[in-house]
Copies of this chain bind each other. A is one copy, B any other.
């Protein structure tokens, strides 16, 4: 299994995928064309427009991009792809479309069999056991919250530390994850923007410049440093 699971596609003040371009060529080695899954439609943009953004970014490192919506048979497109990138947006929409187009099981199969996979935000969220630690609004009702389960944990992308000066009384991210753990047992990786998980063979490593925050049921959350091996987290 080879994957990059990034918290966000874009860092403040940077271009789309800019901070990941140096590490993508190692993942998509000797691959000149990848399949892009634009189902999550950030801000409601069209599949075409979203694919064009991805193509611009990947063009900078000499990789062509095809949108899955350009194929009649989405299942077959995934089966035959040399590499796959799922972009961010709304996770409920992404998961609904993955099920509706019968892509969820085949996507899991090909990634486990070795097709290199990259996800950002919602595309990273679906790599965990379920989408139940997404930050998104439930704009559509998916047939299930279960996702790819490439790793035996859940991921919270765009992890945000509580603001000590905030007077807002909505739940903090940490409180939300605590509520998740009242009903679910898998660990949650709070992945801050600019961090990503590298999956290489059977190893899971935290990458990027920041720490990540690990939440385990009935335990005090703790920080892990970049380059930490998280393979045993389950």
Contact = CB atoms under 8 A, between A and B. Distances in A.
Interface of A: 8-13, 41-44, 89-90, 92-93, 131-141, 144-145, 157-158, 160, 167-171, 175-184, 193
24 contacts: A8-B170, A10-B169, A12-B167, A42-B179, A43-B175, A44-B178, A89-B179, A90-B179, A92-B138, A93-B183, A134-B138, A135-B137, A135-B170, A135-B171, A136-B176, A136-B179, A137-B177, A137-B179, A138-B138, A138-B145, A140-B183, A157-B170, A160-B168, A168-B193
Nearest to A95: B138
A131 B168 CA distance: 21
A200 B89 CA distance: 39
B132 A179 contact: no
A90 B180 CA distance: 9
Contacts of A178: 43-44
